[in-house]
Chain A
Amino acid sequence: MAKVTLKGLSHSYLKTQSSDADWAIRGVDIDWNDGGAYALLGPSGCGKTTLLNIISGLITPTKGDILFDDKVISGLNPVERNIAQIFQFPVIYDTMTVYDNLAFPLRNRKIPEEEIKVKVHEIAEMLELSSTLNNRASGLTADGKQKISLGRGLVRSDVNAIMFDEPLTVIDPHLKWILRSKLKELHQKINRTMIYVTHDQTEALTFADQVVVMHEGQIVQTGTPVDLFEKPKHTFVGYFIGSPGMNVLPCQIKGNDVIVNGKKIETHQQIKKSNFNKTEVGVRPEFISFSNEGIPVKILSVSNTGRHKIVDTKSETGKIKIIAKSNEDIPAGSAFLKFKKEYTYTYGDSWIIE
C-alpha cells in the first residue's frame, strides 16, 4: 500500500518534440492517497493508458518523477515497484488451471506452497472462483478470465497499487454492473490504492472517490464526481461528463457583465479579468429552465428518454440542450431560457475564470 505521487510528468513517444502535440502526456502532477479509489477518465488517445503504464513501470517517462510513499521509484522495474495491473483484455495463462494462474505471481516470488494455498483460496472465495479452481483457465468466459487477471493482482498482499486499464471493455453489459460493484466492494474490503482508467464516465464516477479527467495529455480537472458535474473547470469536462454534456455558448465580457446573444446573464463568478482570445459561458442542460424572459430560442425537437425529456433548441449563437421533467409541458415554436446562476460559469480560453 502506498501513496502515489507524480511530479511534472511528461512523456513523448518521439525522439524530438517540437510542439505540444508531440507529447502523449505533459506536465502531469498528481497526489493520490494511500488506499483511495481513483479514476483516470478521458477519451481514447488522451494519454491515460500511457500515464498508467508509466506508473506501473512498463514505460519510462521522458521527464518527471514517480514517487511511492515519497520515495522516488522512477528507475525501478514493475516487479520492484510491486504493483498489479489488470489489462483491457483478460490476460490468462492458457495452459494452467485457475488455481495455477492465481498462484503464478506468488510462485515467481518463491513463496512457500502452503502460504500460496491459503492465499489463493481466500482470493478465489472473494471473487467467487472457488468452484472453478481446478478447471483449465482457457475454458472460462470473458468475465471469468477477467476475474482471474484481477485475482492475480490481489493475491499479493503487499502490492503498492492495483491499476485497471479499461478492464470491463470485453465484458457483457449485464455482467459489467456485477463486476463493477464487485470491484467497489473489494476496494472497501482490502483498502488498497486502486487506479482505474476508463473512457466511460459511468464507470469512473461509480468506482472512484476522485476522478482525474484528462484531455490531450493534460489533466484538466481532478475532483469528486459531484465537483466534476457541478463545477467543470474546463469546457472539455463540461461536455465529456454528463449526458447530454454541458452547453457551451460564446459570450462577450464587458466590464463585469457577461453577455450572451445580446442579453446580460448572471454567472457564478465575479469577472475580474477579460483578456482572453475566446470567452464562453457553460451551463448544464439540467440547470436551464423555460421562462418568460431571457435567452430567446427556437425549439427544434423534444425526445423523451422516460426519466426526462431532452429538448433541443437553437439560439442565435448556437444550439442549447435542456433537460426537462418528463411531465413538464414544453412550449412550442419559440421560448425564452433562464440559466441557474449558481451553475452557470464563464470560461476564458476553455478554462474556468476564477
Chain B
Amino acid sequence: MNKTINQKAWFFVIPVFVLVAFNAIIPLMTVVNYAFQETFGNNVFMWEGTRWFKQIMLSERFHASLGRQFLFTFIILFIQIPLGIAIALTMPKEGIGVPVCLVLMSMPLLIPWNVVGAMWNIFALPDIGFLGHSLNALGFDYNFTQQIGDAWFTTILMDVWHWTSLVVLLSYAGLRSIQPAYYQAAEIDGASRWAIFTKIELPKMKKVLTIAILLRFMDSFMIYTEPFVLTGGGPGNATAFLSIDLVKMALGQFDLGPAAAMSLIYFFIVLLVCWVFYTLMMRNEEKS
C-alpha cells in the first residue's frame, strides 16, 4: 500500500502539542532543570550533574518514606479491593435500593480532600472527637497525635472510608454487565456460590478491577492532603509519605535541587509500577 506523504498534516498536531506542552512538558522541564543544578536564587544556576539523584537514592530519609509509602499503599489496596468487591456483591440489583445505595456510596467521593482530613482529625481527637473519645471510653489507649500505631490506623481507616466506594462502584458496574445467561448456566451446571464467584464473576470483572487497582494505586501512592491535614506526617515522621516528605524538603527546607530529583524519581516509580502491573494483567488478554 502506498501512503500519501503530506507534511502539512503536522499542523493538525500543533494544538495538542501546545496544550500538552503547557500542562505537562514545560512544568516538568522546570523540575528537570532544578534536578541537575544548584541555585541560590536570583536566577543563578550551577551545574551539578547527577549529584542530587545520587544523594536521594542513597538517603535513608528517602528510603524510609518510600517504604512507608509502599506499606500504606499495599495495606489500603489489600483492604479496599476485597472490601469493595464484597460490598458490590451484596448491593441490590433492582428496585429502589439501587439508586439509594449508589448515592450513599458516592457521598465520600464527593467530599474535598482537605475536608476529609479535617473531618477525620476532629472525629478522631482523643478528648472531644467521637471516634477518639469512644475508643478511650472503651478502654483503648488511643491517641493518633502521639502514637504511631494509632496514627497509621486512623490514616488507613480514613482512606478506606474515602475511597472504597470507588472500588464498589467499578465492581458493581462490572457485575451488572454480566449476562444473566452465565448465572443460569452455572445454576444448571450445579456450580456452588464460590465457583460462580471465582469462575464467572471475578474473570468478568477483571478489566474493571484492573482499572480500580491502578486508580487506587496511583491515588494512594500520591496521597498528600488528607494525611497532611490529619497528622501532618507525624508523630515524628511516622506518616510522612512521599508527597509529604517531598513538600517538606522543597518548601520547608528549600532544598530545591534534591526535591526536584526526588520528584523525578517519584514520578518514574509511579510510571514503572503502573506499566508493570498493566502489562502483567493484560498479558493473557492478548494471547486469547
Same complex: yes
**Residues of A at under 8 Å CB distance from B?**
53, 56, 58, 77-79, 83-85, 87-89, 91, 93-96, 104-105, 108-109, 136, 138-139, 149, 152-153
Q: Which of B47-55, B163-171, B195-203, B225-233 contacts A (4 or more CB under 8 A)?
A: B195-203
Q: A residues within 8 A CB of B195?
A: 108
Q: Tell me if A87 and B181 are in contact (CB < 8 A).
A: yes
The 3 tightest CB contacts between A and B, nearest first, are: A108-B190, A91-B185, A87-B181
Question: Other CB < 8 Å A-B pairs besides A58-B187, A91-B179, 7 of them?
Answer: A56-B188, A78-B187, A78-B188, A83-B188, A85-B188, A94-B203, A104-B199
Please count how many residues in chain B sit with their CB below 8 Å of the partner chain's CB atoms: 18
- Most B CB atoms within 10 A — which of A83, A88, A89, A95? A95
Given contacts A94-B203, A139-B288, contact A109 B190 (CB under 8 A): yes
Q: Is B204 an interface residue (CB 8 A)?
A: yes
What per-residue 1/0 map shows which CB atoms of B170-206 lie under 8 Å from chain A? 0000000001011011011111100100011001100
Q: Using known A-B contacts A94-B204, A139-B288, determine if residue A89 contacts B179 with beta carbons closer than 8 Å.
A: yes
Query: Are B181 and A104 in contact, with the CB atoms below 8 A?
Result: no
Q: Which residues of A contact B184 (CB under 8 A)?
A: 53, 56, 58, 78, 85, 87
Q: Which chain B residue shows the least CB distance to A88?
A: B181
Chain B residues whose C-beta falls within 8 Å of the C-beta of A136 in the assembled complex: 287-288
A-B contact pairs, 6 of them (CB 8 A): A83-B188, A88-B181, A89-B181, A96-B199, A105-B189, A152-B185
Closest to B185 in A: A91
Secondary structure of the B side of the interface? helix
Q: Is the CB of A95 within 8 A of B199?
A: yes
Q: Mark B215-249, 1 if CB is under 8 A from A, else 0.
A: 00000000000000000000000000000000000
- A83 nearest in chain B by CB position: B188
Chain B residues within CB distance 8 Å of chain A:
179, 181-182, 184-185, 187-192, 195, 199-200, 203-204, 287-288
Closest to B285 in A: A138
Q: Which residue of B lies closest to A135 (CB)?
A: B288
B41 to chain A, nearest CB (A): 60
A152 touches B288 (CB 8 A): no
A85 to B188, CA, bound (A): 7
- B287: A residues at CB distance < 8 A: 136, 139
**Contact between B190 and A87, CB atoms less than 8 A apart:** no
Bound state CA distance, A323 and B76, in angstroms? Answer: 74
Q: Which residues of B contact A83 (CB under 8 A)?
A: 188
**Nearest CB of B to A160, in Å:** 12
Check A91/B190 contact, CB under 8 A, given A96-B199, A108-B195, A139-B288: no
In the complex, what residue of chain A is closest to B191 when comparing beta carbons?
A108
Q: A87-B184, A138-B288, A139-B287 are in contact. Are A152 and B199 (CB under 8 A)?
A: no
- Contact yes or no, B188 A84, CB < 8 A: yes
Expressed in whole angstroms, the Cα–Cα distance for A250 and B287 within the complex equals 62
B184 and chain A: residue at smallest CB distance = A58
A149 to B287, CA, bound (A): 22
User: Once bound together, how far apart are the Cα atoms of A58 and B184, in whole Å?
Assistant: 7
Q: How far is B287's CA from A139's CA once the two chains are assembled, in angstroms?
A: 8
Is B190 touching A85 in the complex (CB atoms < 8 A)? no
Question: For A91, what are the chain B residues with a Cβ–Cβ distance below 8 Å?
Answer: 179, 181-182, 185
Contacts of A88 in B (CB 8 A): 181
- Separation in Å of the A161 CB from the closest CB of chain B? 11
Q: Give the complex CA separation of A56 and B288 in angstroms.
A: 32
Whole-angstrom CA separation of A126 from B224 in the bound complex: 62
Within the assembled complex, what's the spacing in Å between the Cα atoms of A136 and B287? 10
B287: min CB distance to chain A, Å = 7
When C-beta atoms are compared, the residue in chain B nearest to A91 turns out to be B185
Complex CA gap A352/B191 in Å reads 47
Which of A56, A77, A108: most chain B Cβ within 10 A? A108
* Cβ-defined partner of B187 (8 Å) among A79, A95, A149: A79
Indicate whether A79 sits within 8 Å of B182 (C-beta atoms), given known contacts A95-B203, A138-B288.
no
| Cα separation A32 to B288 with both chains bound (whole Å) | 42
CB < 8 Å: which of B181, B182, B187, B189 contacts A152? Answer: B189
- When distances are taken between beta carbons in the complex, the residues of chain B under 8 Å from A58 are 184, 187
Contact B185 A149 (CB under 8 A): yes
Which A residues are in CB contact (< 8 Å) with B191?
Answer: 104, 108
CB-CB nearest in chain A for B188: A78
Closest to A165 in B: B181
Which residue of chain B has the shortest Cβ distance to A94 in the bound complex?
Answer: B203
Assembly CA distance A136 to B190 (angstroms): 21
Task: Choose from B179, B189, B203, B204 the contact partner of A104 (Cβ within 8 Å).
Answer: B189
Chain B residues lying within 8 Å of A138, measured Cβ to Cβ, are 288
Q: How far is the CA of A333 from the CA of B204 in the complex (A)?
A: 63
From residue B56, how far is it (CB to closest CB) to chain A in Å? 42
CA distance A95 to B200 in the complex (A): 9
| With known contacts A95-B199, A139-B288, A108–B192 Cβ distance under 8 A | yes
